[in-house]
Structure 1
Amino acid sequence: MNIRPIVSSLSALAVSIALLPFGDFPAEAQMTMHFTTPFVTDSGFVGAAGNMHYITLGVTGFSLKSATIGLPIDMERSIEVKAFDPNGMEILGTLKKSPGGITIDFNQPIDPNTYVRLQLSGVDMSRMGGRALYRVSTQLQGIEGEVPIGSAMIRLKDPS
């Protein structure tokens, strides 16, 4: 009887057991995020028609004076934007439309450590399906110029 396969198998088993970690070891790498400017936390569309999109911003670091949403090239420019606080109350502001997008200047700066939901109504795109990519930038109290804070991607309603 050839015992070489048995010895090889037992040796492989012994090495495998010796290399298995025993006990709970902490993770060797951890990720901690500390946001110093507002950031995009969520985006999507409301309702079955898909003509109302939203972008949620986490306000951190500085008070938020305004938000600019860059619109996709093939999107109609008849869009209206409203802002809402976490309780669903409208935040008053003034809209400015430009060829590149829509800016909402808030009547009162929005304090840090809260969320703002920007709701775009009247979205009418020349295509169905795919995705809409919005570039988002802000103006912050105490900071000169616009600060780009990210992008919001919204999956468009599929044609059916």
Structure 2
Amino acid sequence: MNIRPLVSSLSALAISVALLPLANFPAQAQMVMRFTTPFVTDSGFVGAAGNMHYITLAVTGFSLESATISLPIDMGRSIDVKAFDPNGKEIPTTTKVSPGGVTIDFNQPVEANTYVRLQLSGIDMSRMGGRVLYRVTTKLEGVDGDIPIGSAMVRLKEQG
């Protein structure tokens, strides 16, 4: 009887068992996210009428001076925009509506490490159902130019 294969197998098993504590089980993957500019965190509509949309921005990295929201071509331009802090308190702003969108200038820059909820009321669309896509750009304190920070998609009220 050849005992060599048995000794080899037992040796390999002994080495494996001896090295097992060195392995770090279970293996876990970690992902660290460090945002350096504001970004869109949430969007949707408020109320059953569907004529009020909101976009929530996480303000990170730099203070936020203004935000511009592009408006779809078939959306009316009689929109009113208000900004709110995380506690629901209105933030003083000045708004400018143009053919391309609406710009919200904050009277005082919004400090980093907070959230801002932009609420658009008076939404008037020539279509019912589907989705509307808002592109959002910002101006940040100490940074030249407009910074695109993301898109917000809102489902439109279905006809019926």
**TM-score normalised over the length of structure 1:** 0.83
Q: Secondary structure at the match of 1:152?
A: strand
> 1: distance between equivalents of 2:117 and 2:64?
13
1:84 matched to 2:84? The reply is yes
Structure 1 residue aligned with 2:133: 133
> 2: distance between equivalents of 1:96 and 1:50?
23
Residue type of the alignment partner of 2:113: N
Q: Secondary structure at the match of 2:126?
A: coil
> 2: distance between equivalents of 1:36 and 1:87?
23
Q: Secondary structure at the match of 1:74?
A: coil
Residue type of the alignment partner of 1:51: N
- What is the aligned residue count? 138
CA deviations 1:54-92 (Å, max 9, x no partner) are 000000000000000000111111111000000110000
Q: Secondary structure at the match of 2:33?
A: coil
> 1: distance between equivalents of 2:121 and 2:156?
14
Residue type of the alignment partner of 1:93: T
Structure 2 residue aligned with 1:145: 145
> 2: distance between equivalents of 1:82 and 1:26?
47
Structure 1 residue aligned with 2:32: 32
> 2: distance between equivalents of 1:50 and 1:33?
34
> 2: distance between equivalents of 1:70 and 1:151?
9
- What are structure 1's unaligned runs of at least 5 residues? 1-22
> 2: distance between equivalents of 1:32 and 1:50?
37
Structure 1 residue aligned with 2:97: 97
Question: 1:31, CA displacement in angstroms?
Answer: 2.3
Identity of aligned residues (%): 75
> 2: distance between equivalents of 1:56 and 1:43?
6
Structure 1 residue aligned with 2:65: 65
| C-alpha RMSD of matched pairs (Å) | 1.4
